[in-house]
Structure 1
Amino acid sequence: MNTLNKNRIDILLSKSVAEGRPVLSPFITIGYPDKQKSIDMGIAILKHGGDMLELGVPFSDPLADGPTIQKTSFKAIQNGINLSKCIDAASAIRNANSNAPLILMGYLNPFLHYGFERFASNASEAGIDGLIIPDVPAEEAQPYLEICDSKNINFIPLLAPTSTDSRIEQSCKNARGFIYCVSVTGITGARTNMSNNLQLLVSKIRKFTELPILVGFGISTKKHFQDVTQFADGAIIASAMLDAVNSEPTKDPVITVSKFIKGIK
Structure 2
Amino acid sequence: MSTRVDARFGKLKKEGRAGFVAFITAGDPDVETSFEILKGLPGAGADIIELGMPFTDPMADGPSVQASSLRALKAGQTMIKTLDLVRRFRKDDNETPIVLMGYYNPIYHYGVEAFLKDAVEAGVDGLIVVDLPPEEDDELCLPALKAGVNFIRLATPTTDDKRLPAVLANTSGFVYYVSITGITGSASAKAQDVSASVQRIKRYTDLPVVVGFGVKTPEQAAEIAAVADGAVVGSAIVDAVKAELDENGKMRAGGTARVLGLVKTLADGAHGARKAAAE
Using the size of structure 2 for normalisation, the TM-score is 0.89
User: Following TM superposition, by how much is the alpha carbon of 1:163 offset from its aligned partner in structure 2, in angstroms?
Assistant: 1.0
Aligned residue number for residue 208 of structure 1? 204
Aligned partner of 2:238 among 212, 236, 242: 242
User: Following TM superposition, by how much is the alpha carbon of 1:123 offset from its aligned partner in structure 2, in angstroms?
Assistant: 0.3
Question: Match of 1:170, SS?
Answer: helix
Aligned residue number for residue 185 of structure 1? 181
Deviating more after overlay: 136-145 vs 89-98: 136-145
User: Following TM superposition, by how much is the alpha carbon of 1:93 offset from its aligned partner in structure 2, in angstroms?
Assistant: 1.3
The code of the aligned residue for 1:53 comes to I
CA contact (8 A) 1:25 1:54 kept: yes
Q: How does 1:1-265 map to 2 (within 5 A)?
A: 6-189=2-185, 191-192=187-188, 194=190, 196-249=192-245, 250-264=252-266, 265=268
User: Following TM superposition, by how much is the alpha carbon of 1:252 offset from its aligned partner in structure 2, in angstroms?
Assistant: 3.5
The code of the aligned residue for 2:35 comes to I
Superposed CA deviations along residues 192-223 of structure 1, whole A, max 9, x for unmatched, are 55375322221111111000000011111111
Question: Match of 1:47, SS?
Answer: coil
How far, CA to CA, are the matches of 1:190 and 1:224 in structure 2? 14
How far, CA to CA, are the matches of 1:102 and 1:113 in structure 2? 22
Deviating more after overlay: 211-220 vs 192-201: 192-201
Question: Match of 1:175, SS?
Answer: coil
Residues 15/156 of structure 1: CA separation in 2 closer, same or farther (3 Å cut): same
How far, CA to CA, are the matches of 1:217 and 1:38 in structure 2? 22
The code of the aligned residue for 1:140 comes to E
How far, CA to CA, are the matches of 1:262 and 1:190 in structure 2? 23
Deviating more after overlay: 158-167 vs 204-213: 158-167
The code of the aligned residue for 1:146 comes to L
The code of the aligned residue for 2:108 comes to L
Question: Match of 2:159, SS?
Answer: coil
How far, CA to CA, are the matches of 1:185 and 1:63 in structure 2? 13
How far, CA to CA, are the matches of 1:17 and 1:54 in structure 2? 20
CA contact (8 A) 1:26 1:52 kept: yes
Aligned residues: 261
Superposed CA deviations along residues 70-118 of structure 1, whole A, max 9, x for unmatched, are 1000011111111111111111112221110011011000100000111
CA contact (8 A) 1:66 1:188 kept: yes
Residues 104/9 of structure 1: CA separation in 2 closer, same or farther (3 Å cut): same
Q: Over aligned residues, Cα RMSD in angstroms?
A: 1.5
Question: Match of 2:21, SS?
Answer: strand
User: Following TM superposition, by how much is the alpha carbon of 1:259 offset from its aligned partner in structure 2, in angstroms?
Assistant: 0.4
Superposed CA deviations along residues 157-193 of structure 1, whole A, max 9, x for unmatched, are 0111011223211111211000000011010016455
The code of the aligned residue for 1:54 comes to E
Aligned residue number for residue 275 of structure 2? none
User: Following TM superposition, by how much is the alpha carbon of 1:16 offset from its aligned partner in structure 2, in angstroms?
Assistant: 0.8
How far, CA to CA, are the matches of 1:22 and 1:221 in structure 2? 16
% of aligned pairs identical?
38
Residues 33/252 of structure 1: CA separation in 2 closer, same or farther (3 Å cut): farther
Question: Match of 1:16, SS?
Answer: helix
CA contact (8 A) 1:138 1:167 kept: no
